[in-house]
Amino acid sequence: MNSKAILAVAAFAAIASAGVRADEADASQFALQFTSTRPVAEVKAEAIVEAKSHSTIPAASKVMEPMKTSTEVRTVRAQAIEAVRLGQIGYGEAGGL
C-alpha cells in the first residue's frame, strides 16, 4: 500500500511537471523604438536646473504661522462645546451629521 501511494505521487509529479515550461528570456518583445526631437545637452541642462531648484523638504512638514485673531481660545472652545451639546456638530466616531 505504501509503495502504491509513492508510485501514484511520483506519477502525478511527472505529469504535472511536463506541462510546466518557461519561455525563452528574450527581451526583444519589450524593446521600444524611440526618437527624440530634443538634443541631449538641452535635456541635461533642464535636469540640472530642476535638481538645483527642487526642494527636498516634504510639503507636509512645513509649518504655518499662527493666525492672528482677536478671538480668545476660551471663547472658541466654549462655542465648540455648545455646538456639540446642541447637536450642531458631531462628536467622536459616531458623530456624523
* Domain range annotation of the chain: 3-86
* pTM given for the model: 0.29
User: Is residue 1's pLDDT more than 80?
Assistant: no
What is the predicted pLDDT for the residue at 53? Answer: 83
Annotate 31-49 with b (16+ C-beta within 10 A) or e (fewer).
Answer: eeeeeeeeeeeeeeeeeee
User: Is residue 95's pLDDT more than 60?
Assistant: no
User: Is residue 35's pLDDT more than 70?
Assistant: yes
